[in-house]
A and B are shown apart, each in its own frame.
Chain A
């Protein structure tokens, strides 16, 4: 083994990954920019943008989307922040199950939730409206909830967006050391005063960050609006972009309409970085002390009732409705012995020819995107976590950049990039894999980078100096130490792939159909029962994978990770 050969193997990693990232990120965005400034014949023009601001059929969806995103962000914050506080800092009963159910709502694809809410709250056939009319003996015209409205859509989005805010707030509150609160109570502050003056301000940056995430998620969401906004008679920007792919497709306009979304996201993310950067956010990282829950007294049960109500709306009722529709002969009728049927399962698994293909594709893509994404993020994090050179900073930027690219925009960009030479990937699973890895890379990278910070650089240096190469060290020392974080990241990507619709709906072909697209197609023709069956299947599949992943031997069990130096 010559010295130079070993030198090259490790040194080549940085440019290699920089190149790969460039392909992943810069290529689609570059094509997007090129198309946005081209006319149909390929000449430079600004007319796409002129149309975008002057034509109300483009302006209105943008304004609607903004209004929707602000509403969702405010509602989510108002609901999730108190929930986070109750779960993290008080003696409310059933705090663990509450957390778990919030996670269940997190892994629910928003489009599935939207369809479930169609079953529940369509103005006439919705189960809740039927129940209400039956209970009140009211006229068939009386409607309690109408999901096909702006607020109906906002509500359905909130149900699956609030977990982002909840997780950020609850984690921040988990990490506030008790002595900070103790210091306040020592000085004579009442519990309420301590909460107001110390706890809440410390959690505020997390809340702001959560509100921002909720805003961005809503802005870039495709599935729920496509399902609920169309019947309600309005477009948001993502559904508008999608409709531009109807025949004759107008990729130039779609590209131009994607760019404001991209810019807005970049601006907001910078704002978030500023908010989080200013206060000593890492102060909220002390490991000192047990958290002493605030005693709620008589408010314990009302507090739980509040959390339970939220979870009913986001998890229990929707899954109940899906379950009902999966077994009931007519999806809008409550399940009884007389209308119980397995025929929908039979249809989905025996007659529907795309089911097996879609499940297989989704499974393969989920596994491979999770594995590739985790490895990719791991290597990049290992390169950037230990040295701040110009090269690694650029790498870090590229790895984080896709966070600013909405799924539908990335879908358009990838479509433009890989339907022409030199590499034509459209029509293969590869293009979907690229899309998934690109979309999930930022989150995976950030998670692993944080995990790296928890491991002292000396542990790696010790291995290097004893003769192991950079990659050898990564494999033998760093990766095992990161074990639990790696599994968590893997699971995160897997779940995200299951949820993804916006890029897939642009990039799929008949052979590369995935579950989310299949469900979306079935929704188009109104096959709610089949959707329910597939939705439940998806939930089971996700649950099985998550449980299995957490049992991978050698990772979480049996290892004594006492001291993290």
Chain B
């Protein structure tokens, strides 16, 4: 597969340019981000001329579609096409498409922050910092070069069906899932298809150990693909316990009245961040920027939190009533660079245990 590689000459030129530019402008090395951009009438006009924006995203489909509709309502004349798929499949699709010189995507959101490490390295992203990001987002949730920022965050949690499992019997930790009484009762998503689960698998393997997965694989686990799937299987009553899956799906289901409950494991809960960025070769560059700005606006973030059950880093957006705030949960530490390096190894090891 052909990927975007910078030629040696381009790299040298780039290096020369930075080394010249830095002392002149007196900026910090990581401060190459462009100035924050407001949504100007000019941008809206230009976007409307393009008429469309295409968003590849790993966020849950109803959330994505709802956001798209809200965007279209706010900017009449714009169409937003949502392409929802698992994070790993989005990554695979984009590399397939870019390998064939097809530039179909304007804005991309993945559930695997490591993907942005790759896309940034390959020069596929455009620098663009929406005003909201510059004003209201913590610095550690922004790319220093302004190529992407954390659009959403969520947890990968354990869950159970309250009709099938009593609260006092419910597992409290990952270790609890290895109890023989859960044999054949666990559903679990796959790191080969889901970015969330890849990240979570990395963190759990690091903090709990690979032997946890080895033992879990003996529990006759029902293996599904996306991290959005286990919560739904749980709600259907297909399995009593989910070993991993999206917290936000469980929020949605629980608030709809489905018999599901969230467990934050005692060993710590993997925190997943889902950055969003604009592609350099976006077919609708203005539409892309307009949508990127919209995604980080308080209204979109609020919709995402309230309807989608996600966590926002926007300073002005608060968690919904009744949800455990992040500060009360013991979190595992995120490390996209390590995930990017070890992705293949993690998937291979996982497959050797779970056989799929």
List residues of A whose CB falls within 8 A of some B CB. Answer: 57, 60, 122-126, 140, 148, 229-235, 243, 245-249, 251, 330-332, 347, 351-354, 357, 419-420, 424, 426-427, 509-511, 521-522, 524-528
> Are the CB atoms of B238 and A330 closer together than 8 Å?
no
Q: List 14 A-B contacts (CB under 8 A).
A: A57-B352, A124-B240, A140-B164, A230-B225, A232-B223, A246-B88, A354-B83, A419-B99, A424-B100, A424-B101, A426-B97, A509-B102, A525-B60, A526-B224
Nearest A-chain residue to B230, judged by Cβ = A526
Nearest B-chain residue to A510, judged by Cβ = B83
The proximity string for B residues 221-255 relative to A, scoring 1 for CB distances below 8 Å and 0 otherwise, is 11111101111110111111000000000000000
> Are the CB atoms of B192 and A246 closer together than 8 Å?
yes
B280: interface (CB < 8 Å): no
B62: interface (CB < 8 Å): yes
Known A-B contacts A231-B224, A353-B68; the reply to A511 vs B356 at CB < 8 A is no
A148's contact among B97, B222, B355, by CB below 8 Å, is which? B222
Taking the nearest CB of chain B, how far is it from the CB of A366, in angstroms?
22
In the assembly, what is the distance between CA of A510 and CA of B352, in Å?
A: 32
Interface members, chain B 24-64 (any A CB < 8 Å): 54, 56, 60-62
Known A-B contacts A235-B356, A347-B62, A353-B65; the reply to A526 vs B100 at CB < 8 A is no
Interface members, chain B 58-107 (any A CB < 8 Å): 60-62, 65-66, 68-69, 80-86, 88-89, 91-93, 95-97, 99-102, 104-105
- Residues of chain B within 8 A (CB-CB) of A249 are 1, 92, 95-96
Taking the nearest CB of chain B, how far is it from the CB of A127, in angstroms?
11
B193: interface (CB < 8 Å): yes
In the assembly, what is the distance between CA of A180 and CA of B81, in Å?
A: 64
> Are the CB atoms of B229 and A525 closer together than 8 Å?
yes
In the assembly, what is the distance between CA of A233 and CA of B61, in Å?
A: 26
- Residues of chain B within 8 A (CB-CB) of A233 are 220-221, 223, 354-356
In the assembly, what is the distance between CA of A510 and CA of B92, in Å?
A: 13
B344: interface (CB < 8 Å): yes
Q: Which interface residue of B54, B61, B105, B221 has the most chain A CB atoms within 10 A? A: B61
- Residues of chain B within 8 A (CB-CB) of A528 are 232, 236
Count contacts between A and B, CB distance < 8 Å: 142
- Residues of chain A within 8 A (CB-CB) of B82 are 353-354
Please give 19 more A-B residue pairs, beta carbons under 8 A apart, in addition to A419-B99, A509-B102. Answer: A124-B238, A125-B233, A140-B164, A230-B356, A233-B221, A233-B223, A234-B356, A247-B95, A248-B344, A249-B95, A351-B65, A353-B68, A426-B102, A427-B104, A509-B97, A510-B104, A521-B84, A524-B193, A524-B225
Taking the nearest CB of chain B, how far is it from the CB of A442, in angstroms?
28
Known A-B contacts A230-B224, A353-B68; the reply to A510 vs B56 at CB < 8 A is yes
Taking the nearest CB of chain B, how far is it from the CB of A236, in angstroms?
11
B228's contact among A235, A426, A510, A526, by CB below 8 Å, is which? A526
> Are the CB atoms of A526 and B232 closer together than 8 Å?
yes
In the assembly, what is the distance between CA of A241 and CA of B102, in Å?
A: 23
Taking the nearest CB of chain A, how far is it from the CB of B54, in angstroms?
6
A510's contact among B54, B224, B237, B238, by CB below 8 Å, is which? B54
In the assembly, what is the distance between CA of A427 and CA of B104, in Å?
A: 9
> Are the CB atoms of A419 and B65 closer together than 8 Å?
no
Count of chain B residues with a beta carbon within 8 Å of a chain A beta carbon: 64
B13: interface (CB < 8 Å): no
B258: interface (CB < 8 Å): yes
- Residues of chain B within 8 A (CB-CB) of A509 are 93, 97, 102, 104
In the assembly, what is the distance between CA of A300 and CA of B169, in Å?
A: 55
- Residues of chain A within 8 A (CB-CB) of B235 are 330
B18: interface (CB < 8 Å): no
Taking the nearest CB of chain B, how far is it from the CB of A325, in angstroms?
10
> 6 tightest CB-CB pairs across the interface, nearest first?
A526-B232, A526-B229, A125-B238, A125-B236, A419-B100, A510-B83
- Residues of chain B within 8 A (CB-CB) of A229 are 356
Known A-B contacts A230-B223, A230-B356, A234-B355; the reply to A510 vs B62 at CB < 8 A is no
Known A-B contacts A140-B164, A148-B222, A353-B68; the reply to A524 vs B85 at CB < 8 A is yes
In the assembly, what is the distance between CA of A11 and CA of B347, in Å?
A: 57
Nearest A-chain residue to B351, judged by Cβ = A57
A247's contact among B91, B225, B237, by CB below 8 Å, is which? B91
- Residues of chain B within 8 A (CB-CB) of A511 are 104
Taking the nearest CB of chain A, how far is it from the CB of B254, in angstroms?
14
The proximity string for B residues 321-342 relative to A, scoring 1 for CB distances below 8 Å and 0 otherwise, is 0000000000000000000000
- Residues of chain A within 8 A (CB-CB) of B221 are 233
In the assembly, what is the distance between CA of A230 and CA of B80, in Å?
A: 33
In the assembly, what is the distance between CA of A124 and CA of B239, in Å?
A: 7
Nearest A-chain residue to B105, judged by Cβ = A510
In the assembly, what is the distance between CA of A245 and CA of B192, in Å?
A: 11
> Are the CB atoms of B85 and A521 closer together than 8 Å?
yes
In the assembly, what is the distance between CA of A118 and CA of B352, in Å?
A: 26
In the assembly, what is the distance between CA of A121 and CA of B104, in Å?
A: 39
A525's contact among B56, B84, B105, by CB below 8 Å, is which? B84
- Residues of chain A within 8 A (CB-CB) of B96 are 245, 249, 419, 426
Nearest A-chain residue to B220, judged by Cβ = A233
- Residues of chain A within 8 A (CB-CB) of B83 are 354, 510
Known A-B contacts A353-B82, A524-B193; the reply to A125 vs B237 at CB < 8 A is yes
